[in-house]
Amino acid sequence: MDLSLTEDQQTITELFASFFAKECDGEFVREAEPLGHHDELWAKLIEMGMVSMGVPADAGGGGLGLLDLALVAEVYGSSIAPVPFVEAVVAARLLAAVGSSGSELLASVVDGSTATIALRPAVDRSARLVPAAAVADIVIALDGDELVAVSQGASNRPTAVKNLGSGPVANVDLTLSARQVLAVGNEAQQLYATALLEWKALTASALVGLGREALRIGLQYVMERHQFGVPIGSFQSVQHRFADDATALDAAGLLARKAAWSVDEGEPDAVALVSQGFIFASEGAQRTAGDSLHFHGGYGFMLEYDIQLYYRRAKAWSIIWDDPRRELARVADALYGPVGAA
Amino acid sequence: MDFRMGEKSDEFAKEVADFLDEHLTEEVVMEAHETGTVHNWGFYKAMADAGYTRAAWPKEFGGQERDPFEMAALSDQLNLRHAPTDGSSVTLMICSTLRHVGTPEQQADIIPRGLNGEILICLGYSEPDSGSDAAAAATRADRDGDEWVINGQKMFTTLAHEADYVFMLTRTNHDVPKHKGLTMFLVPMDAEGIEIQPVHTMGGERTNITFYNDVKVPDALRVGDVDAGWGVMRVALTFERGGSMMGQSVRLVRLVEEWAKENLAPNGRPWIEDPLVRERLARANMLNNAGALLGLRSADLFNRGELPGVEGSMSKLFSSEKFLAICEDLVDMLGPEGVLQHGEDDAPSAGWVEHAMRHAVVTTIYGGTSEIQRGIIAEHGLGLPRTRKSDRARNS
Measure A313 CA to nearest chain B CA, in Å.
Answer: 23
In chain B, DSSP assigns E strands to: 121-124, 140-144, 147-155, 165-171, 182-188, 194-200, 206-218, 222-223
- Specify which residues B85 forms β-bridges with: B39
Measure B280 CA to nearest chain A CA, in Å.
Answer: 9
**In the 8-state DSSP scheme, what is residue A2?**
B
B134 lies in a domain?
Answer: yes
Q: Are residues B282 and B185 in the same domain?
A: no
Cα separation, A163 vs A167, in Å, equals: 7
A182 lies in a domain?
Answer: no
Which amino acid is located at B129 in the chain?
Answer: D
What number is the ipTM of this complex? 0.97
Three-state DSSP at B370 gives helix
C-beta atoms of A243 and B283 within 8 A: no
B185 lies in a domain?
Answer: yes
Last residue of a domain, one of B30, B54, B84: B84
A213 lies in a domain?
Answer: yes
A110 lies in a domain?
Answer: no
Count of domains for chain A: 1
Q: Are residues B308 and B246 in the same domain?
A: yes
Residues of B in contact with A340 (CB under 8 A): 273
Active-site annotation holder among B240, B311, B321, B354: B240
Residues of B in contact with A336 (CB under 8 A): 257, 261, 272, 278, 281
C-beta atoms of A328 and B387 within 8 A: no
Cα separation, A52 vs A55, in Å, equals: 5
Residues of B in contact with A231 (CB under 8 A): 385
- Specify which residues A230 forms β-bridges with: A227
C-beta atoms of B297 and A223 within 8 A: no
Cα separation, A89 vs A91, in Å, equals: 5
Which amino acid is located at B89 in the chain?
Answer: S
pLDDT at res. B394: 45
pLDDT at res. A341: 60
Nearest by CB: A335 against B285, B290, B384: B285
- Of the candidates A126, A154, A157, A149, the residue with the CA atom closest to the CA atom of residue A195: A149
Q: Are residues B213 and B307 in the same domain?
A: no
Q: Range of A240's domain?
A: 189-336
Size of interface A-B (CB pairs under 8 A): 145
pLDDT at res. B241: 57
The region, left, alpha or beta by phi > 0 then psi within -120 to 50, assigned to residue B108 is alpha
Count of domains for chain B: 3
What number is the average pLDDT over the span A311-322? 98
Nearest by CB: B279 against A5, A246, A329: A329
Cα separation, A246 vs A284, in Å, equals: 9
A254 lies in a domain?
Answer: yes
Helix (H) or strand (E) holding B288: helix B275-303
B176 lies in a domain?
Answer: yes
pLDDT at res. B393: 42
A94 lies in a domain?
Answer: no
- pLDDT per residue rounded down to tens, chain B (396 residues): 999 999 999 999 999 999 999 999 999 999 999 999 999 999 999 999 999 999 999 999 999 999 999 999 999 999 999 999 999 999 999 999 999 999 999 999 999 999 999 999 999 999 999 999 999 999 999 999 999 999 999 999 999 999 999 999 999 999 999 999 999 999 999 999 999 999 999 999 999 999 999 999 999 999 999 999 999 999 998 887 557 889 999 999 999 999 999 999 999 999 999 999 999 999 999 999 999 999 999 999 999 988 888 999 999 999 999 999 999 999 999 999 999 999 999 999 999 999 999 999 999 999 999 999 999 999 999 999 998 776 554 443
Residue B314, classified by CB atoms within 10 Å of its CB into exposed (0-12), middle (13-18) or buried (19+), is buried
A79 lies in a domain?
Answer: no
C-beta atoms of A247 and B296 within 8 A: no
C-beta atoms of B294 and A250 within 8 A: yes
Residues of A in contact with B311 (CB under 8 A): 250
Q: Are residues B245 and B374 in the same domain?
A: yes
What number is the average pLDDT over the span A183-187? 98
Q: Are residues B74 and B13 in the same domain?
A: yes
Over 60: is that where the pLDDT of A260 sits? yes
Residues of B in contact with A234 (CB under 8 A): 384-385, 387
Measure A10 CA to nearest chain B CA, in Å.
Answer: 12
B113 lies in a domain?
Answer: no
Torsion sign (Cα): A199, A200, A205, A208 = positive
Nearest by CB: B286 against A9, A250, A280: A280
C-beta atoms of B382 and A242 within 8 A: yes
Three-state DSSP at A226 gives strand
Q: Are residues B225 and B152 in the same domain?
A: yes
Three-state DSSP at A118 gives coil
Q: pLDDT tens digits for A108-138? A: 999 999 999 999 999 999 999 999 999 999 9
pLDDT at res. A188: 98
Helix (H) or strand (E) holding A230: strand A230-231
B65 lies in a domain?
Answer: yes
B240 is catalytic: yes
Return the CATH number at B270.
1.20.140.10
Q: Range of B165's domain?
A: 122-238
pLDDT at res. B390: 62
Last residue of a domain, one of B238, B255, B275: B238
- Do strands B147-155 and B140-144 pair parallel, antiparallel, or not at all (unpaired)? antiparallel
Three-state DSSP at B101 gives helix
A51 lies in a domain?
Answer: no
Helix (H) or strand (E) holding B225: none
B292 lies in a domain?
Answer: yes
Q: Are residues B135 and B225 in the same domain?
A: yes
Nearest by CB: B384 against A233, A262, A325: A233
Nearest by CB: B318 against A240, A247, A325: A247
From the candidates A232, A247, A249, A331, which should be mutated to test the interface with B, based on the most B CB atoms within 10 A? A247
Q: Is the peptide bond before A56 cis (omega within 30 degrees of 0)?
A: no
Residue A228, classified by CB atoms within 10 Å of its CB into exposed (0-12), middle (13-18) or buried (19+), is exposed
B350 lies in a domain?
Answer: yes
- Angle (nearest 5°) at CA B316 between B389 and B361: 90
What number is the average pLDDT over the span A55-60? 93
- Average pLDDT value over all residues in chain A: 97
Within chain A, residue ranges assigned H as helices are 7-23, 26-31, 39-47, 66-79, 85-98, 103-110, 185-224, 236-264, 270-295, 307-319, 324-336
C-beta atoms of A261 and B272 within 8 A: no
Residues of B in contact with A339 (CB under 8 A): 273, 278
Cα separation, B181 vs B140, in Å, equals: 10
C-beta atoms of A1 and B294 within 8 A: no
Return the CATH number at A264.
1.20.140.10
Last residue of a domain, one of B238, B261, B287: B238
A126 lies in a domain?
Answer: no
